[in-house]
Amino acid sequence: MKRVKMFLGIAALIPLALTQLTPVASATTTAPTCATMTVDAPPGAKIESVQAQRHEGGTVSFPATPLGPAREITDVPAYCEVTVTLTHPGANDHVKVAVTLPETGWSGRLQAAGGSAYTAGDFGAPLVQAVKDGYAGVTTDAGVPLTFLDTSWALKPDNTLNKPLVTDFATRSVHESAVIGKDVARQYFHRAVSYSYWNGCSTGGRQGYSEAQNYPHDFDGILANAPAVNWSQFAVATLWPQTVMNNDHHFVANCVLDAFKQAAIKTCDPRDGVVNGIVDRPDECGYDPRSLVGTKIVCEGKEITVSAADADVMRKIWAGPTDEYGRKLWDGLPKGADPSWLAGTKADENGDLSAPGFAVAVGWVQSFLKKQPGFDTSTLTYAQFRDLFRQSVREFDGVIGTSNPDLSAFRWSGGKLLSFVGTADQLIPPGGTLAYRQQVERRMGPVNDFYRLFLAPGVEHCGGGAGPQPVNPLGALVDWVEHGKAPATLAAATATTTRDLCAYPRFSRYNGQGDPAVASSYHCR
């Protein structure tokens, strides 16, 4: 079904973090009433309860989480928060959907917030920021705990897979939250949502791609950054560094891991014509870790000599997992990214090192594949790792893999998909997203008319790192959806530098002259 839209004027949008968006229709002149309402259940679901609570707004503070710092949002208008709890007959699940609705200044837009790791949504700052920016906000917990790394919910008491909850987390709940969010907003504001947007990174990025693949009419625009697409491969592949160290019986100290990272940056940084501590194209970085063998470094006051065994482990981590014939199963950590997240080691009281493994991958293997909550992933042999990798793809690619390259329904619905990926992503190797994008092009031909991917040199997972970060990607997406202005570049910045990121397959390159800290000194090629 083709969307029918009201078009805005031609004025360019100002960054959303700095000003309110231009409403797509006149806002209500009197504050709506924050009260319980009757919400229609999405097909296959049943509403258990609906609660409404008015918030005064003003300055709203949020504590730090395991995945982010504390945050304070000022000048928030008063808003209504409607919480809908639903279930699916026979599933024994209880899924919460929260919708935040500004009393004044609503732009006519809906913004859905994605999750992180094994948490499906964010009920904190994103919903309040959405209200401040003139959106109705929506998110869901998919019926699972808001604890980021807990995977115990995936198993029933008899240690069999809880398939309904896995379905909720993988695909169903985000779709239902979009349906509920639009229904609640329509009733509260007495008019329908004009445009709906998805905003997520990591797990939230995967959820955005899932929506484009499975529910192409839910959102007009999808901002899905550092997406955990190909989840069934990624969730096992990121356990590779632990598997290498345990099978090679050699554990690399964190300071040595960092020395390899710094050496790779020093070697490959100048390739783009400017020395700025960034490896623009890790895939083109040919640095050989064996060149560091024999180098002496200081670790916690002790001098250590880099060994050939250290270099061999680092080489395998960068190369990524392989099958029994040496063929690549998945991409490894990009050169220039911080290896301590996936390959970090810790010392016991005797000073002996061990590799605990990436928590997201450990939880996936324990709960979803082995179905043994206490399973010790450090015991995996290379052969067992490869078996688990194949099992994960075989059993879960169609459930949570988010790897379907056919986006034709989303394209024909009029939707727009925008993503950025950091080349120094230390949690989700960017090769997975690049491989997915290439698969889409092989199936559909050129796709920049509705799907644009931007590589952010030196940026880490969802942000951070030495490279300039996109300053307002959601604003660029809104401009694309509502004004038809497809972004050729994304403005990015740090505290001291600016740079325009280029739409794939083009890359940002230094001109060879001019201030390397200024965006105008770069071009796309």
Cα dihedral 190→193→194→198 (10° resolution): 160
Q: Catalytic residue at 269?
A: no
Q: Would you tell me the crossing angle of helices 203-214 and 173-189 to the nearest 10 degrees? A: 80
Q: How far apart are CA 129 and CA 118, in angstroms?
A: 22
Token pair belonging to 17: 């973090």
Is residue 402 within 8 Å of 231, Cβ to Cβ? yes
Q: Which of 168, 310, 331, 425 is catalytic?
A: 425
Q: Where are the beta strands (DSSP E) in 226-330?
A: 296-299, 302-305
414 sits in which H/E element: none
Q: By three-state DSSP, how is residue 132 classified?
A: helix
**Which residues are CB-contacts of 29 (< 8 A; sequence separation ≥ 6)?**
none
How far CA 304 is from CA of 258, 259, 289, 472, in Å, comes to 13, 11, 16, 44
**Long-range Cβ contacts of 378-386 (<8 Å, 24+ apart):** 378/242, 378/246, 378/354, 379/246, 380/239, 380/243, 380/246, 381/247, 382/243, 382/247, 382/324, 383/324, 385/236, 385/239, 385/240, 385/243, 385/321, 386/321, 386/323, 386/324, 386/329
Q: Which position has the token pair 């590589």?
A: 455
Q: How far apart are CA 210 and CA 447, in angstroms?
A: 17
Q: Which of 116, 202, 367, 413 is catalytic?
A: 202
Q: Which position has the token pair 């050939």?
A: 308
Helix then strand then coil, % of the chain, to nearest 5:
35, 20, 45
Q: Which of 93, 116, 269, 461 is catalytic?
A: 461
How far CA 397 is from CA of 170, 400, 401, 470, in Å, comes to 11, 6, 4, 31
Q: Catalytic residue at 419?
A: no
471 sits in which H/E element: none
How far CA 426 is from CA of 205, 331, 453, 459, 475, in Å, comes to 16, 12, 19, 9, 26
Q: How far apart are CA 49 and CA 85, in angstroms?
A: 5
The 8-class DSSP code of residue 457 comes to T
**CA geometry: angle at 191 spanning 47 and 451, to 5°?**
85
Q: By three-state DSSP, how is residue 127 classified?
A: helix
Is residue 306 within 8 Å of 313, Cβ to Cβ? no
The 8-class DSSP code of residue 468 comes to P
Q: Catalytic residue at 202?
A: yes
- The residues that are catalytic are 202, 425, 461
